Structure 1
Amino acid sequence: MTKATQSCISFWLLCVLLITGINTRIIKSVKGKSIKLPDTRFKPEGQQESIVDFIKPSSSQNGKLDLAFIMDTTGSMSSYINSAKQNIREIVEEIVTSSGSDVRLALIEYRDHSPEDRTFVTRKNDFTSSVSTMKSWLNTARARGGGDGPEAVADAMFETTRLSWRQDATKISVLISDAPPHGLVPSEDTSFPQGSPNGHDPMQIARDLAQKGVTLYVIGVEPPIVPYKDFFMALAYLTGGQYVPLSVPRLLVNAITGGAQEELSLRKFQADVQREIKQASAAAGSGTSIDRQKIAQTVFRKLKKSGAKSTQLVKNNKTLDGPSADAKLLASKKSMAEVRKIFKKGNTPRTSFSFSPRKRLGRLMPDFATKGGFRRSGGGSARRMSSSFSKIGLSKASSPSSSVSDKLSTKESGITLEQINRLVQKETARLPSV
């Protein structure tokens, strides 16, 4: 071997060693696509961890995702806030790894209006591509206060319309709640029985979100939310979203990632739905309403025949329940004033201990001297309440219908009619005359 050849080999070996040392990222194959996982090397203090560190999406991937969390941060939500804090990195990694999307995150916290809560009504953090920034927002979130049962849900939803949503992104807002908005059940509302004092109407805001192309997922903390489930189903339905029941905080990450993956997988069918809506609108003529159900069935038959598949969020391997008939009826109403006239509370599952809707930890505590009622308390009541629950063997999120073995996951399967119905609802909501 000549000296020139030896020098050439040495040079290339040196190049390989340098490249290996510089780029230590692991290449992993996901569904036939190669992606780069996060750089595991040490990052200097203060350097933000961007979602770009997870992956740089190519034109063949699903594009952009704007994901906004709307989170009740009153006293009873501590375990769910902690779950979000602990799992936000996993949530982002799971979405990016499975879909290859360019993800941005936003957080809106909400509590209640004064005098029920004197801390804040809402606290908005607009979209960021930095996981570290999102973690810092969650780290400052604390479960406190809340006052009476209803909370500032309407105001939080309104703030969601003011986020800097990207026009070309898949837009998802995730509302995590265990209490109704003001104005839904006046007899239970000691402060604002006619609704938000700022005049925000959840029914109109849901339609505004739909106009912007934002899909609302409601993660209902059960059992407290069960009596108001139809109302929250209606809000989700108006935007083409879903209601996801949750009684175990550890499943929060699965609910969020699964919902995002499902919505991203449905994006490829939007063109089919839009085309059918356009044809139906042309056939119906100006000023004539179109048949959403007929459109959905037509698109579904075509896609099913072609073998179309989608990602589906499932609980214990069964698809989630679609909106109830009552939820659809509520969704047809234009305002909370109209909703109030026909809203019927559902039944909360009974346990050996009756849990009142007025349940803010840190503000109320069980009074076993009365008939399962509650009384106001001073400092330290949250700790005493937790202790009381432990003594009677009942966790805050327990319910006869829930189980620690419950699982939320996703599966790949044939497109469903319910999914197409949601797409049709989402697309027609953006048409002013429909």
Structure 2
Amino acid sequence: MIIYLVDALYEALNFAWRDNNDDKIFYDKLVILFTDSALNGLFTDLSGKDSWKMSHQFLKKDITLLVVGVEPTIIECYDFYCALAENTGKGQIFCGKYSLFANAVSIVPAAIARVIANEQTLYQVLGNISIKDIEENSMLTYSYMKNRVDRMIKECQAMNDIKKFFFNHRSHAR
């Protein structure tokens, strides 16, 4: 049985998450997706679930996505993954993040150590990751793709829109 990334996102979206309760205890909903390939529908015809539409549902259900891409195969679509993660963000409190594996190797264990020391929740720690930390030792330059990411979030409603935007940008860049 083959499980696709989009199926994993669908399962996370429909997981029986614990609700916040009346005792003012809040449960953060965080999904970490490790990938070395493009999601269904970006370079192929969309077959099955639409990950971009799901990212809107993540936002509605207060689920934040952290995408960790494994270089170098992920470079061709890092702006898409950054937009996908940011599209699940919740403004000032926490924004979905995209990081490359080279950085995740140091960021994730440090974050877990801070959680174990009861300094912050994993959600809070990951929310404080700086762009400098994400870009360190990688081919990713967030400032270079920020405009494309913002436009994808603003203009696209489904993977077909993303695909058109993605290829229009690539053809104009040449």
Cα 1:262–1:159 change in 2 (3 A) is closer
Considering only CA atoms, is the larger Rg found in Structure 1 or Structure 2?
1
One-letter identity of the residue aligned with 2:159: M
Structure 2: unaligned runs, 5 residues or longer: 21-26, 90-95, 135-141
Give 1:312 shift: 2.5
- Residue number in structure 1 paired with 2:10: 158
Cα deviation for residue 226 of structure 1 reads 0.8
Distance apart, 1:343 and its partner CA = 0.2
Per-residue deviation, 1:250? 4.2
Aligned position for 1:264: 124
Question: Which TM-score applies when normalising by structure 1?
Answer: 0.30
Aligned Cα root-mean-square deviation (Å): 3.0
CA distance in 1, matches of 2:111, 2:39: 22
Query: Which residue number corresponds to residue 9 of structure 1?
Result: none
1:255 and 1:339 mapped to 2: Cα distance?
34
How far 1:245 sits from its partner (Å)?
Answer: 1.6
Look up the match of 2:70: 221
Q: Which residue of 2 aligns with 1:52?
A: none
Residue 334, structure 1, aligned to residue 157, structure 2:
yes
Equivalences for 1:5-404 in 2 at 5 Å?
A: 120-122=1-3, 152-168=4-20, 169-185=27-43, 193-196=44-47, 198=48, 200-240=49-89, 241-247=96-102, 250-251=105-106, 253-254=108-109, 257=112, 261=121, 263-264=123-124, 312-314=128-130, 318-320=132-134, 321=142, 324-332=146-154, 333-344=156-167
Structure 2: which amino acid aligns with 1:312? N
The one-letter amino acid of 2:128's match is: Q
How many residues are treated as equivalent by the alignment? 143
Report % sequence identity. Answer: 26
- CA change 1:214–1:165 in 2 (3 A) is same
Which structure is richer in relative contact order (CA contacts within 8 A, separation 6 or more)?
2
Counterpart-to-counterpart distance in 2, 1:248 and 1:209: 24
Runs of 4 or more above 2 Å deviation: 247-266, 311-315, 318-323
- Would you say the 8 A contact 1:215–1:239 is kept in 2? yes
More strand by share: 1
Q: Could you report, residue by residue, the CA deviation over 1:289-310 in whole angstroms, capped at 9, with x for unpaired residues?
A: xxxxxxxxxxxxxxxxxxxxxx
Could you tell me whether the CA contact under 8 Å between 2:69 and 2:100 is conserved in 1? yes
Return the letter of the residue paired with 1:176. Answer: F
CA distance in 1, matches of 2:130, 2:77: 22
TM (norm. structure 2) is 0.69
